[in-house]
Structure 1
Amino acid sequence: MLELFIPLSCVFFLLSLIPGRHRKYTAIIAWISIVCVLISGVPAWIEETNLLYPVMALLSLPFLWATIRMLLNDQEVVYQLTRAAGVSFLIYAPFAFYEPLGNALISLVISNTGMFLNFFNFPFDQVLWNTLQHGHFRVEIILACTGIQAIAIMLGVAAAVPTTWRQKALAFLLVVPPIYILNLFRNTGVVIAYTEQWFTWLPDITGSPEPGYASFFWAHNIIAEGLALVFLVGLAYGLFRLIPTLADFAADLIDAYRLEITNIAGRGR
């Protein structure tokens, strides 16, 4: 099911970039599809003891209802949000759906992660083209470990409002190199923390039968994702400083959703 909704949402987000009367309907289908992706992924994320994505899936339901209502009312700020999502998919889709390109990115990331591990004098073996091992533990690098999703999202955010070529170039430099480099530190930290079993002293709340998985959970799902979230918030602030109209867009978007959700809640009483 997940494999169906991802390309579907991608197609309709891209179609929503094309001006025309169809735009509101392609945007609605796109948002419904992406929320279906989130909902269908909940069982797997819960099994992996991933806390962030199930919460996002839960919050996506009122967001979706408000988004549909505002699109039907032709609220421009939601079209801007949809454009941001469309640009994000435009960047992400080639890596996700063209396997040689995605694998090339994974190979680059695993090579660079190996360079970082060597810099820290950490011994490891590359046992597969996308897998690093130290001791008895292995870490597989997949597309989600490359930072491409975060890069696509932040560049999409930057595309939500009209910008000059200078702003576009500076936004690219502000987003792509820092996220890529930070992601290498993230991968390096997870590899070391997991294979060295740094967090065995923390409670094992995963229930996983896999030996040593608790260290991976704390390193990857809690610490790395938490730090990445803080970094992305800071990066968004940098984009707001670079593109002042982006901050205005964010404020308008928050106001629009706050008002719409308040109206929905009021009618439900």
Structure 2
Amino acid sequence: MTRRDSLLAVLVAVLWGGNFVAIHLGLEDVPPFLFLAIRFVLVAVPLVFLVPRPKASWQAVVAVGAFMSLGQFGLLYLALSIGMPAGLASLVLQAQVVLTIVIAAVALDERPSRRQAAGALVGTAGLVVVAVGFGAGASIVPLVVTVGAALSWAIGNVVARAAKVESGLSLVVWSALVVPLPCLAVSWVVDGPDVMVEALAGFGWTALLSTLYTVVGASLVGYTIFNGLMAKHPASSVVPYILLVPPVGMLSAWLVLGEVPNLLEAVGALVMLVGVTVAVTSSRRPAVVAAAPS
């Protein structure tokens, strides 16, 4: 890639890495599912009236929205709201790489190369070490929910692959329509209408800036740049840059939130990143991975 495109790829990683801290800050004032509904309303409107519908069946668009957006981010927002550290979440969510390879092998009969299989095993071992380190100091539930978010993302990757859906801006915008109503319904049941009204009435600057960052920076700008790079260059040239997301996420969480991983979490993070790196940089068979985490 040219130097300009390389810098754009780094910019995407920075935007997506910082997104976890932005979400964490916004969740201090707004319940998770209400906050997610607001985000995806703004992702979809008014662009849904301006961007053509993706060239895919409604079933495929709805399935991608259900797994990549609703399932992934619903569980991620929930995990962050119940105690998952933002920096660690940016790492654990990358378990989707390993899970996508496994699910694609089962569902699509896409056999991974030996290098991808080795990377998946190493990445899984790293995730186990992270889990042990995390569980030693707190409830492991937020970590399990974050892994659930990664699993939902991985299923969405395979659905998109099977349906031959291109990961363009149109897919991001139109699949966003799947998210708001279910999230509002969950928030109504879990939080109650009084809490929802109170949160909307007290929607302050922190929540507003967090929403703008996730909508404009992470979703629209990040996806637009990323998809443009994927259209110009081989995936093997672009996807490795996204491995910068966890380090950026963990660094920003340390600087802004004061999050410092313990020794086991740090070791597990390093092992997991090595495994993911091996899996996505395989030269023999490209992994079925949607590398956009936000």
Same fold (TM over 0.5): no
TM-score (norm 2): 0.33
- Decide which structure has greater strand share: 1
* TM-score computed with the length of structure 1 as normaliser: 0.35
Question: Higher relative contact order at CA 8 Å, sep ≥6: structure 1 or structure 2?
Answer: 2
